[in-house]
Amino acid sequence: MRIAYLDGFSGISGDMFLGALVDAGVPLELFQRTVAALDLGITLQGSRVDRAGISATKVDVLVNGQKDLPREEFWAEWRSSAAEHTHGETHAPGHDHGEGEGDHHVQGRHLRQVLGIIQAASISDRAKGTASEIFVALGTAEAKVHNIDVAHVHFHEVGAADAIADIVCAAVGAEALKVEQILASPLNVGGGSVKCAHGVMPVPAPATLELLKGVPVYSGEVQKELVTPTGAAIVRVLVSSFGPRPVMTTEKIGYGAGARDFPRHSNVLRITVGETADSGAWTDVSKESLSTDEVMVLEANLDDLSPQVVGFLTDQLLAAGALDVFTTAVQMKKSRPGTLLTVLSRPEQEATLRELIFRESSTLGIRSRREQRYLLARRHETVQTPWGEVRIKIGSMAGADSQLAPEYEDCRRVAVEHHVPLKTVLQEALRLYLDKENG
């Protein structure tokens, strides 16, 4: 199985992750085209730098030609001057670039607007979903820390553009790696303190710590903030498990540089890409090869909503990070036909998705419950069809493959590119995989 492993011995930020990806072979031009298509005045610059004797790639995000502060200073300045509550809103992330502390008229974007920008981006549906999930995680953490609804989290114009660049490129870059899992070591969060809107707080900062729930972390000798909120949101969504390096054969290595150069400490994020023979690497698998997690189930009965609106709502929920959305035809009171909307989400996304359902549908009530989910061990293998590569998703139990399915997005892509019926691509991909296994 092809995996990527992150060594977080010096923490992680959005630009460090992008630098590591570029150093490992993801073209910088891919990121430059991605941010140019966002039309937010963003450009990227790449350079080679030295961090305590380690050569690494530094990726700088420029907004309207201006380079932002180093990430730890970027977030520290926002906390001390921009995280003011105005009319029930929290402003995040980013500094004001000269705006006074009392100026609350800085243009910016709410989470809904940011998700709209991501949805309109010229990237794959998979990358859109990943980027949206990362931004939702970031907004949800800020909302919880400040005790407000996530819909009221307000991203300053420059800070939002910077964070959009980091997060969208992280999603695009992770997809470009073509790995089945991203794993990571425990994260060094640094030490010391940071300035927040209401005083000085120890590292990690509140929103960062909220994002790092369930993630193994530690503090080393460096008394600086090493994990930024953007970095924490990226690993929360992209990394499937944390722990020691698994047995793997290394193919590519990349080093992404942080802004600061510490003495006797290489301020870099290292990524290793390679193969492992363990198809169930780092999944919490029982003897029956089943792992478990918890999901929230949101349900609403709809009997007066246009099917067009239901379809639109489904797309919006998936873009906002829902694990799955489906509808069921039901018979409601007074013999009226209706639709049962069911949404599966991670617990931390429940509030965001609930607000979206209320806003976009006609329902007056939403039911929610927490359920345990059992998962088969999963892996991907690739087959070469006459029209291009297609991944096969494989589920296994007790060491035996029990579920096989060609990846829809791969089949859809080659069907559109080569004008071949989708069903033909699906059948051929499955046939090629079975022939390989039985040959």
pLDDT at position 155 is: 67
The number of angstroms, rounded, from the C-alpha of 184 to the middle of its chain's C-alpha atoms is: 15
Categorize the per-residue pLDDT at 200 as very low, low, confident or very high, splitting at 50, 70 and 90: confident
pTM: 0.61
Single-letter residue type at 51: R
pLDDT digits (tens, 9 = 90+) for 48-97: 999 999 999 999 999 887 775 555 444 444 444 444 433 344 445 443 32
Q: Which CATH architecture has domain 290-365?
A: 2-Layer Sandwich (3.30)
Categorize the per-residue pLDDT at 142 as very low, low, confident or very high, splitting at 50, 70 and 90: confident
The answer, yes or no, to whether residue 372 has pLDDT greater than 90, is no
Q: Over the chain, what is the mean pLDDT?
A: 85
Lowest mean pLDDT among 43-52, 90-99, 332-341: 90-99
Could you give the CA distance from residue 185 to residue 191 in angstroms, rounded to a whole number? 18
DSSP one-letter string for 234-296: HHHHH--EESSPPS-EEEEEEEEE-S--BTTB--EEEEEEEE-S-TTTT----TTSEEEEEEE
Indicate the domain borders of the chain. 2-275, 290-365, 379-438
pLDDT at position 98 is: 29
Categorize the per-residue pLDDT at 289 as very low, low, confident or very high, splitting at 50, 70 and 90: very low
Exposed/middle/buried for residue 105 (C-beta within 10 Å: 0-12, 13-18, 19+): exposed
For the chain, give the percent of residues with pLDDT over 70: 85
Q: What is the mean pLDDT of residues 404-430?
A: 94
pLDDT at position 46 is: 96
The answer, yes or no, to whether residue 152 has pLDDT greater than 80, is no
Lowest mean pLDDT among 75-84, 130-139, 300-309, 408-417: 75-84
Could you give the CA distance from residue 211 to residue 137 in angstroms, rounded to a whole number? 7
Q: Which residue has the higher pLDDT, 155 or 103?
A: 155
pLDDT at position 156 is: 57
The answer, yes or no, to whether residue 102 has pLDDT greater than 50, is no
Could you give the CA distance from residue 298 to residue 347 in angstroms, rounded to a whole number? 11
Could you give the CA distance from residue 246 to residue 148 in angstroms, rounded to a whole number? 40
pLDDT at position 64 is: 81
Contact predicate 276/3, CB 8 Å: yes
Candidates 317, 297, 290; CA nearest to 397 is 290
For residue 174, the number of C-alpha atoms closer than 13 Å in the C-beta half-sphere is 27
Categorize the per-residue pLDDT at 15 as very low, low, confident or very high, splitting at 50, 70 and 90: very high
